[in-house]
Amino acid sequence: MDRPDPPWAPHPDPAVEARLARADPAMLGALLADPALRNDPYARLRALDRMHGAAAPNPQVLGAWLQAMLLGNRPQRAWRVTGGWPIGAATPPDVQLLAAQVAQAVGRGDEARARFREVIGRHPHWVDALQKYAEFEAPGAMPDHAVQALERILAAGATDYDREKAGFALARAVAPRDPQRAFALAAAAQARKRGRIGPWDRAAFEARLAHDRSLAPLPDRGRPCSEVFIVGLPRSGTTLLASLLGAHPSIANVGEQGLLPALAADPPPARSGAHARDWYRAALADLADGAPVVVDKLPGNAEHAGHALARFPDALVVHLERGLDDCATSIHMHDFESGSAYACEGADLGHYAGAIASHLRGLRERSPTRVLHLRFEDLARAPEASLRPLLSRLGLDWDPSIPEFWRQDVQTATYSEAQVREPVHTRSIGSARRFLPASAIFLAAVRGAAAKWHHSVSRQPESPSP
């Protein structure tokens, strides 16, 4: 029998906690709209959960709650609701699609597949559903009718948005048999996406890094670290590293959390008078389940690593770096929904990669015992040797359960979901070579922009120059 959902920890601001615990649904709606809480994701999560539990079924509240559970790495809570829904027309299509993503996140692959296929059977040209299904399905395993539907949308879709999404989905579907076309499809989709969302705001990015550098790291108190922030580029192996660590009985893998960016933007604890660490730990208490160490693996936290070092006295920042060719190619072929506008063009991606590596190197020079550097290739080839120094900083020893992480009930809603349901492997090392020569111009732009950061990103020896 499934364990009941763990209780939420009290919000460290007593006034906010009182509103969350006692307000009726209408008052909770006002709390969600309160400008004073716009950057308090824990308060918003709790409010949505109360509204979902207290009100009569409401499609808008239900959809927002499911999204919040997925984005907050709590798919098991959502699964308790969606797992009993019928796989058929009795479930509305938009809800069916969310239910498929929930099943995927909790590792119920057969149910996820059935729900994805049911909804695209009803709506064979719903490009968003087709794309989500393509991201779930093993590359090359999509049914012919779904691939043909994507081809038709790409050729004659009603909007540029439809053709953009179809391009990303087709790139994944055809990659095993035609990697050259797959890269070309993804590159064209990225160009359409850039036209839709606009150029990457490099100036805003540089301003965030400058502010992060201005913060003074707290001194190392010589104690084992209790908060681990795994940072770097997307597609660099952060999900794998977090899953390996999360298999240790003293470590809780809390997935990708938006808490550190919220602190950096406008810290809610500063307004309420509570400490940042108290608020952060309260927001993760249900996921940590009493574990002394929590692992937060949001790659974008690289932009806010200085905040982690300045606000959390026992935090450890782990910079995971992957060979640039492999990492950049994988990023460019994925359709990240937010926060990754730099992925659309090679020069922007190279600039971002170089700047992030340089930023983290600078933090490591200022706080050498609280910033640790790992390479994905080393982790994949020798997990125990790579992890022992990290575990030592946490005051922990190697545990034999770590290599068996993939047998545990891993919950994740990232693009790497399938990769943490099998043992560690090295198949992705050198993967960029498959897409040459189609990717040659793109990789040259990435390397050229990254090289301006004084060797901040090392080139991958396995990947040949174009």
Q: What is the pLDDT of residues 436-445, one digit of tens each?
A: 999 999 999 9
* 161 assigned to some structural domain: no
Residue 54: pLDDT over 80: no
Taking alpha carbons only, the member of 139, 141, 142 closest to residue 129 is 142
pLDDT category of residue 390 using cuts at 50, 70 and 90: very high
Distance, CA of 345 to CA of 343 (rounded, Å) = 6
The answer to whether position 13 is within a domain reads: no
Summarize pLDDT for 314-332 with one digit per residue, the tens: 999 999 999 999 999 999 9
> Radius of gyration over alpha carbons of the chain, in Å?
22
Report the pLDDT averaged over residues 267-278. Answer: 60
pLDDT digits (tens, 9 = 90+) for 104-144: 998 899 999 999 999 999 999 999 999 999 999 988 889 99
Do the domain assignments include residue 425? yes
* pLDDT band, residue 39 (cuts 50/70/90): confident
Please give the Cα distance from 40 to 43 (Å, whole number).
6
154, pLDDT greater than 90: yes
What are the backbone angles phi and psi of residue 87, rounded to the nearest 5°? -95, 80
Rounded distance, CA 264 to CA 443, Å?
32
E strand map for 246-308: 251-253, 293-296
Angle, helices 93-105 vs 59-71, to 10°: value is 20
- Which pLDDT band holds residue 22 (cuts at 50, 70, 90)? confident
Residue 391: inside a domain, yes or no? yes
Closest CA to 265 of 226, 341, 207: 207
Q: Considering only residues 459 and 203, tell me which one the structure prediction assigns the higher pLDDT.
A: 203
Neighbours of 200 (CB within 10 A): 20
Tell me how many domains the chain contains.
1
Biggest CA pair distance of the chain: 63
> What is the average per-residue pLDDT within 159-176?
97
For 288-445, strand residue ranges (E) read: 293-296, 315-321, 371-375
Q: What is the dihedral of CA 7, 9, 13, 14, to 10 degrees?
A: 60
- Going by C-alpha positions, the residue among 357, 292, 352 that lies closest to residue 321 is 357
| CATH number for position 362 | 3.40.50.300
* Residue 306: domain span: 204-250+292-322+337-433
Work out the angle at residue 240's Cα, subtended by the Cα atoms of residues 238 and 243, and round it to the nearest 5 degrees.
105
The answer to the question of residue 178 being in a domain is no
How much of the chain exceeds pLDDT 90, in percent?
73
183: in domain: no
